[in-house]
Amino acid sequence: MTTQDIINSAEEHLIHTYNRYQIVLDKGDGVYLYDTDGKKYLDFGAGIAVFALGYNNKEFNDAVKAQVDKLVHTSNYFYNEPAAKAAKAVTEAAGMDRVFFTNSGTEAIEGAIKLAKKYAYLKSGSTDHEIIAMKNSFHGRSLGALAVTGNKHYQEAFGPMIPGIRFADFNDLDSVKALVNDKTCAIIFETVQGEGGVYPAKPEFLKGVRELCDEKGILLILDEIQCGMGRTGSMFAYQQYGVKPDIVTAAKAIACGLPLGAFMATEEVAKALVPGDHGSTYGGNPLATAACVKVFELYEKQQVLENVKKVGAYLAQQLDKVVEDYDIVKERRGAGLMQGLELTMPAGGAAKECIDNGLIIFTAGANILRFVPPLVITEANVDEAVIKLRAALDNLSK
Protein backbone atom coordinates (compact mmCIF):
# COMPACT_ATOMS: atom_id res chain seq x y z
CA MET A 1 0.00 0.00 0.00
CA THR A 2 1.14 3.53 -0.72
CA THR A 3 1.19 6.17 1.99
CA GLN A 4 -2.03 7.67 0.65
CA ASP A 5 -3.67 4.22 0.39
CA ILE A 6 -2.97 3.64 4.09
CA ILE A 7 -4.35 7.05 5.04
CA ASN A 8 -7.46 6.57 2.90
CA SER A 9 -8.13 3.13 4.37
CA ALA A 10 -7.73 4.41 7.92
CA GLU A 11 -10.04 7.35 7.27
CA GLU A 12 -12.65 5.03 5.81
CA HIS A 13 -12.73 2.55 8.68
CA LEU A 14 -11.55 4.26 11.89
CA ILE A 15 -13.89 6.31 14.05
CA HIS A 16 -12.70 9.87 13.59
CA THR A 17 -11.58 10.79 17.11
CA TYR A 18 -8.13 12.08 16.12
CA ASN A 19 -7.07 14.78 13.68
CA ARG A 20 -3.98 12.98 12.47
CA TYR A 21 -0.99 14.44 10.64
CA GLN A 22 -0.85 13.16 7.08
CA ILE A 23 2.11 10.93 7.92
CA VAL A 24 2.34 7.14 8.11
CA LEU A 25 5.09 6.13 10.52
CA ASP A 26 6.82 2.92 9.54
CA LYS A 27 9.76 2.20 11.86
CA GLY A 28 11.93 3.65 14.58
CA ASP A 29 15.55 3.47 15.65
CA GLY A 30 17.03 5.14 18.70
CA VAL A 31 15.34 8.53 19.03
CA TYR A 32 14.36 8.73 15.37
CA LEU A 33 11.22 7.69 13.50
CA TYR A 34 10.84 7.08 9.77
CA ASP A 35 7.72 7.33 7.65
CA THR A 36 6.70 5.16 4.72
CA ASP A 37 8.26 7.67 2.33
CA GLY A 38 11.62 7.34 4.09
CA LYS A 39 11.59 10.75 5.80
CA LYS A 40 13.47 10.87 9.12
CA TYR A 41 12.06 12.57 12.23
CA LEU A 42 13.73 13.38 15.52
CA ASP A 43 11.16 12.26 18.07
CA PHE A 44 10.49 14.68 20.91
CA GLY A 45 7.03 13.24 21.57
CA ALA A 46 7.89 9.62 22.44
CA GLY A 47 4.35 8.48 21.64
CA ILE A 48 3.10 11.01 24.22
CA ALA A 49 5.75 10.31 26.87
CA VAL A 50 5.63 6.55 26.38
CA PHE A 51 8.75 5.32 24.57
CA ALA A 52 11.26 6.27 27.27
CA LEU A 53 14.00 3.91 26.05
CA GLY A 54 13.80 4.94 22.41
CA TYR A 55 13.07 2.66 19.49
CA ASN A 56 14.57 -0.68 18.53
CA ASN A 57 16.28 -1.24 21.89
CA LYS A 58 17.58 -4.77 21.36
CA GLU A 59 17.42 -5.90 24.99
CA PHE A 60 13.86 -4.65 25.35
CA ASN A 61 12.78 -6.19 22.04
CA ASP A 62 14.41 -9.52 22.90
CA ALA A 63 12.63 -9.66 26.27
CA VAL A 64 9.25 -9.03 24.64
CA LYS A 65 9.91 -11.58 21.87
CA ALA A 66 10.98 -14.21 24.39
CA GLN A 67 7.79 -13.73 26.39
CA VAL A 68 5.66 -13.95 23.22
CA ASP A 69 7.17 -17.37 22.56
CA LYS A 70 6.61 -18.44 26.16
CA LEU A 71 3.23 -17.13 27.34
CA VAL A 72 1.24 -14.06 26.27
CA HIS A 73 -1.90 -14.35 28.38
CA THR A 74 -3.61 -16.58 30.93
CA SER A 75 -5.96 -14.76 33.29
CA ASN A 76 -5.80 -13.32 36.77
CA TYR A 77 -7.16 -16.56 38.18
CA PHE A 78 -3.56 -17.75 38.03
CA TYR A 79 -0.16 -16.36 39.03
CA ASN A 80 2.58 -15.62 36.52
CA GLU A 81 6.22 -14.78 37.10
CA PRO A 82 6.48 -11.54 35.07
CA ALA A 83 3.54 -9.99 36.95
CA ALA A 84 5.07 -10.90 40.31
CA LYS A 85 8.41 -9.40 39.31
CA ALA A 86 6.79 -6.28 37.87
CA ALA A 87 4.69 -5.77 41.01
CA LYS A 88 7.81 -5.86 43.17
CA ALA A 89 9.70 -3.48 40.87
CA VAL A 90 6.99 -0.86 40.56
CA THR A 91 5.90 -0.78 44.21
CA GLU A 92 9.49 -0.52 45.43
CA ALA A 93 10.18 2.28 42.94
CA ALA A 94 7.09 4.18 44.05
CA GLY A 95 7.48 3.53 47.78
CA MET A 96 4.05 1.89 47.80
CA ASP A 97 2.97 -1.48 49.18
CA ARG A 98 0.57 -2.94 46.63
CA VAL A 99 -0.33 -2.53 42.97
CA PHE A 100 -3.16 -3.37 40.60
CA PHE A 101 -2.16 -3.59 36.94
CA THR A 102 -4.45 -2.11 34.30
CA ASN A 103 -4.24 -1.70 30.52
CA SER A 104 -4.02 2.09 30.46
CA GLY A 105 -3.68 5.26 32.46
CA THR A 106 -7.39 5.96 32.25
CA GLU A 107 -8.14 2.58 33.81
CA ALA A 108 -5.59 3.32 36.54
CA ILE A 109 -7.52 6.48 37.41
CA GLU A 110 -10.79 4.53 37.45
CA GLY A 111 -9.28 2.04 39.87
CA ALA A 112 -7.84 4.79 42.08
CA ILE A 113 -11.27 6.43 42.34
CA LYS A 114 -12.94 3.14 43.21
CA LEU A 115 -10.31 2.37 45.83
CA ALA A 116 -10.73 5.77 47.47
CA LYS A 117 -14.50 5.43 47.53
CA LYS A 118 -14.38 1.89 48.93
CA TYR A 119 -11.91 2.94 51.63
CA ALA A 120 -14.21 5.80 52.65
CA TYR A 121 -17.25 3.52 52.57
CA LEU A 122 -15.60 1.08 54.98
CA LYS A 123 -14.80 3.94 57.34
CA SER A 124 -18.22 5.58 57.38
CA GLY A 125 -20.72 3.18 55.82
CA SER A 126 -22.01 5.93 53.52
CA THR A 127 -21.73 6.32 49.75
CA ASP A 128 -22.09 10.09 49.38
CA HIS A 129 -18.41 10.94 49.55
CA GLU A 130 -16.86 13.72 47.50
CA ILE A 131 -13.55 14.06 45.67
CA ILE A 132 -11.69 17.30 45.09
CA ALA A 133 -9.95 17.55 41.72
CA MET A 134 -8.21 20.43 39.98
CA LYS A 135 -9.29 22.84 37.26
CA ASN A 136 -7.28 22.56 34.05
CA SER A 137 -6.44 18.93 34.81
CA PHE A 138 -6.58 15.87 32.59
CA HIS A 139 -7.01 12.32 33.87
CA GLY A 140 -8.50 10.41 30.94
CA ARG A 141 -11.61 9.99 28.80
CA SER A 142 -13.63 7.22 30.41
CA LEU A 143 -16.55 8.49 32.48
CA GLY A 144 -14.90 8.22 35.87
CA ALA A 145 -11.62 9.74 34.73
CA LEU A 146 -13.53 12.37 32.79
CA ALA A 147 -15.48 13.33 35.91
CA VAL A 148 -12.27 14.37 37.69
CA THR A 149 -10.87 16.12 34.60
CA GLY A 150 -11.18 19.86 35.13
CA ASN A 151 -12.05 20.89 31.60
CA LYS A 152 -15.68 21.38 30.57
CA HIS A 153 -14.77 20.96 26.90
CA TYR A 154 -14.05 17.27 27.44
CA GLN A 155 -17.15 16.71 29.58
CA GLU A 156 -20.03 18.66 28.04
CA ALA A 157 -21.35 16.06 25.59
CA PHE A 158 -21.09 13.13 27.99
CA GLY A 159 -22.97 14.21 31.12
CA PRO A 160 -24.18 13.77 33.65
CA MET A 161 -20.82 13.14 35.30
CA ILE A 162 -20.57 11.03 38.43
CA PRO A 163 -21.64 13.22 41.34
CA GLY A 164 -19.59 14.53 44.20
CA ILE A 165 -16.65 16.01 42.29
CA ARG A 166 -15.56 19.53 43.21
CA PHE A 167 -12.84 21.52 41.46
CA ALA A 168 -10.17 23.67 43.11
CA ASP A 169 -7.47 25.83 41.54
CA PHE A 170 -4.19 24.02 40.98
CA ASN A 171 -1.36 25.42 43.12
CA ASP A 172 -3.84 27.38 45.26
CA LEU A 173 -4.01 25.71 48.67
CA ASP A 174 -6.68 28.06 50.00
CA SER A 175 -9.02 27.10 47.15
CA VAL A 176 -8.61 23.43 48.14
CA LYS A 177 -9.24 24.14 51.82
CA ALA A 178 -12.40 26.05 50.90
CA LEU A 179 -13.90 22.90 49.32
CA VAL A 180 -13.08 20.41 52.07
CA ASN A 181 -16.03 19.16 54.10
CA ASP A 182 -17.05 16.09 56.08
CA LYS A 183 -17.83 14.21 52.84
CA THR A 184 -14.43 14.74 51.22
CA CYS A 185 -12.72 11.37 50.85
CA ALA A 186 -9.90 12.15 48.41
CA ILE A 187 -7.99 14.90 46.64
CA ILE A 188 -6.60 14.06 43.20
CA PHE A 189 -4.21 15.93 40.93
CA GLU A 190 -1.25 15.51 38.59
CA THR A 191 2.10 16.20 40.22
CA VAL A 192 2.93 17.96 36.95
CA GLN A 193 -0.10 18.93 34.90
CA GLY A 194 0.48 17.68 31.36
CA GLU A 195 -2.37 18.32 28.94
CA GLY A 196 -3.29 21.41 30.94
CA GLY A 197 -0.07 23.17 29.96
CA VAL A 198 2.94 21.57 31.73
CA TYR A 199 2.51 23.11 35.17
CA PRO A 200 4.52 21.51 38.02
CA ALA A 201 2.96 21.53 41.47
CA LYS A 202 4.55 24.12 43.72
CA PRO A 203 6.29 22.56 46.75
CA GLU A 204 4.20 24.55 49.23
CA PHE A 205 1.03 23.41 47.47
CA LEU A 206 1.84 19.71 47.39
CA LYS A 207 3.14 19.68 50.95
CA GLY A 208 0.19 21.74 52.11
CA VAL A 209 -2.33 19.36 50.54
CA ARG A 210 -0.54 16.41 52.14
CA GLU A 211 -0.75 18.07 55.55
CA LEU A 212 -4.42 18.88 54.95
CA CYS A 213 -5.16 15.26 54.04
CA ASP A 214 -3.37 14.01 57.14
CA GLU A 215 -5.29 16.45 59.34
CA LYS A 216 -8.72 15.62 57.87
CA GLY A 217 -8.30 11.89 57.20
CA ILE A 218 -8.50 12.41 53.42
CA LEU A 219 -6.66 10.29 50.83
CA LEU A 220 -4.16 11.96 48.51
CA ILE A 221 -4.18 10.54 44.97
CA LEU A 222 -1.34 11.66 42.70
CA ASP A 223 -1.62 11.10 38.97
CA GLU A 224 1.87 10.31 37.65
CA ILE A 225 0.75 8.76 34.38
CA GLN A 226 2.71 11.28 32.29
CA CYS A 227 5.21 12.76 34.73
CA GLY A 228 6.19 9.49 36.39
CA MET A 229 8.60 6.71 35.39
CA GLY A 230 11.63 8.97 35.49
CA ARG A 231 10.43 11.80 33.26
CA THR A 232 11.20 14.58 35.75
CA GLY A 233 14.48 13.11 37.05
CA SER A 234 13.19 10.89 39.86
CA MET A 235 11.27 7.70 39.28
CA PHE A 236 8.11 9.52 40.40
CA ALA A 237 7.85 13.29 40.47
CA TYR A 238 6.44 13.47 44.03
CA GLN A 239 9.69 11.97 45.33
CA GLN A 240 11.36 15.33 44.67
CA TYR A 241 8.93 17.00 47.10
CA GLY A 242 9.48 14.68 50.06
CA VAL A 243 5.78 13.80 49.97
CA LYS A 244 4.17 10.38 49.73
CA PRO A 245 0.62 9.90 48.38
CA ASP A 246 -1.84 7.29 49.60
CA ILE A 247 -2.61 6.21 46.02
CA VAL A 248 -0.57 6.85 42.88
CA THR A 249 -1.32 6.07 39.24
CA ALA A 250 1.20 5.22 36.52
CA ALA A 251 1.17 4.16 32.87
CA LYS A 252 2.79 5.42 29.62
CA ALA A 253 6.51 4.55 30.05
CA ILE A 254 5.86 1.77 32.55
CA ALA A 255 6.09 -0.82 29.74
CA CYS A 256 7.44 1.42 26.96
CA GLY A 257 4.67 0.88 24.45
CA LEU A 258 2.92 -2.26 25.59
CA PRO A 259 -0.51 -1.60 27.12
CA LEU A 260 0.08 -1.37 30.86
CA GLY A 261 -0.99 0.96 33.62
CA ALA A 262 -1.11 0.68 37.38
CA PHE A 263 -2.56 2.12 40.53
CA MET A 264 -0.59 1.62 43.71
CA ALA A 265 -1.45 2.22 47.33
CA THR A 266 -0.26 1.87 50.88
CA GLU A 267 -1.11 -1.36 52.66
CA GLU A 268 -3.79 0.28 54.79
CA VAL A 269 -5.62 1.71 51.80
CA ALA A 270 -5.08 -1.20 49.42
CA LYS A 271 -6.73 -3.74 51.69
CA ALA A 272 -10.07 -1.97 51.17
CA LEU A 273 -10.42 -3.81 47.84
CA VAL A 274 -11.30 -7.47 48.18
CA PRO A 275 -12.06 -10.22 45.62
CA GLY A 276 -15.01 -9.15 43.49
CA ASP A 277 -14.45 -5.40 43.92
CA HIS A 278 -12.28 -4.85 40.85
CA GLY A 279 -10.82 -6.74 37.93
CA SER A 280 -9.32 -6.68 34.45
CA THR A 281 -9.14 -9.45 31.87
CA TYR A 282 -5.88 -8.29 30.30
CA GLY A 283 -4.46 -6.23 33.15
CA GLY A 284 -1.07 -7.50 34.29
CA ASN A 285 -0.79 -10.18 31.63
CA PRO A 286 2.61 -11.87 31.20
CA LEU A 287 3.56 -10.01 28.01
CA ALA A 288 2.98 -6.48 29.30
CA THR A 289 4.53 -7.16 32.69
CA ALA A 290 7.58 -8.84 31.13
CA ALA A 291 8.10 -5.58 29.25
CA CYS A 292 7.71 -3.67 32.52
CA VAL A 293 10.34 -5.80 34.24
CA LYS A 294 12.81 -5.16 31.43
CA VAL A 295 12.07 -1.42 31.54
CA PHE A 296 13.12 -1.25 35.18
CA GLU A 297 16.24 -3.30 34.48
CA LEU A 298 17.25 -1.04 31.58
CA TYR A 299 16.54 2.14 33.55
CA GLU A 300 19.16 1.01 36.05
CA LYS A 301 21.61 -0.38 33.51
CA GLN A 302 21.47 2.69 31.25
CA GLN A 303 21.36 5.16 34.18
CA VAL A 304 18.23 6.75 32.76
CA LEU A 305 17.44 8.95 35.76
CA GLU A 306 20.93 10.44 35.71
CA ASN A 307 20.54 11.17 32.01
CA VAL A 308 17.19 12.89 32.57
CA LYS A 309 18.71 15.17 35.20
CA LYS A 310 21.65 16.10 32.97
CA VAL A 311 19.94 16.42 29.59
CA GLY A 312 16.74 17.81 31.11
CA ALA A 313 18.71 20.71 32.59
CA TYR A 314 20.37 21.29 29.23
CA LEU A 315 17.03 21.23 27.40
CA ALA A 316 15.60 23.77 29.86
CA GLN A 317 18.64 26.00 29.35
CA GLN A 318 18.33 25.90 25.56
CA LEU A 319 14.58 26.53 25.67
CA ASP A 320 15.16 29.51 27.97
CA LYS A 321 17.36 30.97 25.23
CA VAL A 322 14.51 30.44 22.76
CA VAL A 323 12.21 32.39 25.09
CA GLU A 324 14.73 35.26 25.12
CA ASP A 325 15.08 35.29 21.34
CA TYR A 326 11.45 35.13 20.17
CA ASP A 327 8.64 37.54 20.98
CA ILE A 328 6.08 34.85 20.13
CA VAL A 329 7.39 32.65 22.98
CA LYS A 330 6.22 33.80 26.41
CA GLU A 331 7.56 31.30 28.91
CA ARG A 332 9.21 27.93 29.53
CA ARG A 333 8.12 25.69 32.37
CA GLY A 334 8.42 22.07 33.33
CA ALA A 335 10.75 19.58 34.99
CA GLY A 336 13.36 17.21 33.62
CA LEU A 337 12.39 15.95 30.18
CA MET A 338 8.83 17.23 30.49
CA GLN A 339 9.01 20.80 29.27
CA GLY A 340 6.58 23.27 27.74
CA LEU A 341 6.88 26.51 25.80
CA GLU A 342 3.94 28.89 26.04
CA LEU A 343 3.37 30.80 22.81
CA THR A 344 1.44 33.98 22.14
CA MET A 345 -0.55 32.11 19.48
CA PRO A 346 -2.16 28.68 19.05
CA ALA A 347 0.57 26.04 19.17
CA GLY A 348 -0.85 23.78 16.49
CA GLY A 349 0.77 25.70 13.66
CA ALA A 350 4.15 25.63 15.37
CA ALA A 351 3.89 21.89 15.96
CA LYS A 352 3.11 21.32 12.29
CA GLU A 353 6.04 23.50 11.22
CA CYS A 354 8.32 21.45 13.48
CA ILE A 355 7.04 18.18 12.06
CA ASP A 356 7.54 19.48 8.54
CA ASN A 357 11.13 20.24 9.60
CA GLY A 358 11.59 16.67 10.86
CA LEU A 359 10.95 17.27 14.56
CA ILE A 360 8.00 15.46 16.13
CA ILE A 361 6.54 17.54 18.92
CA PHE A 362 3.11 17.76 20.50
CA THR A 363 0.94 20.48 21.95
CA ALA A 364 -0.65 20.79 25.38
CA GLY A 365 -3.73 22.95 25.64
CA ALA A 366 -4.23 25.67 23.07
CA ASN A 367 -0.89 27.46 23.02
CA ILE A 368 1.75 25.19 24.58
CA LEU A 369 4.44 23.25 22.74
CA ARG A 370 5.20 20.13 24.78
CA PHE A 371 8.60 18.42 24.85
CA VAL A 372 8.44 14.83 26.12
CA PRO A 373 11.23 12.99 24.27
CA PRO A 374 12.63 9.54 24.97
CA LEU A 375 14.55 9.65 28.25
CA VAL A 376 17.72 8.48 26.52
CA ILE A 377 18.22 11.58 24.35
CA THR A 378 21.59 13.34 24.37
CA GLU A 379 22.60 16.99 24.44
CA ALA A 380 23.38 16.63 20.73
CA ASN A 381 19.77 15.57 20.16
CA VAL A 382 18.64 18.69 22.05
CA ASP A 383 20.82 20.85 19.83
CA GLU A 384 19.33 19.26 16.71
CA ALA A 385 15.80 19.73 18.04
CA VAL A 386 16.37 23.39 18.90
CA ILE A 387 17.72 24.12 15.42
CA LYS A 388 14.53 22.65 13.91
CA LEU A 389 12.38 24.47 16.46
CA ARG A 390 14.04 27.80 15.72
CA ALA A 391 13.48 27.29 11.99
CA ALA A 392 9.78 26.78 12.68
CA LEU A 393 9.59 29.84 14.92
CA ASP A 394 11.43 31.91 12.33
CA ASN A 395 8.75 31.05 9.79
CA LEU A 396 5.97 31.94 12.22
CA SER A 397 7.64 35.21 13.17
CA LYS A 398 7.73 36.55 9.59
* Positions marked active-site: 138, 223, 252
Amino acid at 333: R
Q: Is there a contact between 218 and 186 (Cβ–Cβ < 8 Å)? A: yes
Strand 130-134: give its sheet, edge to edge: 98-102, 261-265, 247-250, 219-223, 184-190, 130-134, 165-168
Strand 40-43: give its sheet, edge to edge: 25-29, 32-35, 40-43, 359-360
Q: Rounded CA gap, 374 and 304, in Å?
A: 10
Amino acid at 224: E
Radius of gyration of the chain (CA): 21
Which residues on neighbouring strands pair with residue 200, listed in sequence order? 192
Amino acid at 164: G
3-state SS of 285-333 is CHHHHHHHHHHHHHHHHCCHHHHHHHHHHHHHHHHHHHHHHCCCEEEEE
Amino acid at 230: G
Pick from 385, 294, 322, 343: nearest CA to 62 = 294
Residues comprising the chain, all counted:
398
Which residues on neighbouring strands pair with residue 136, listed in sequence order? none
Amino acid at 39: K
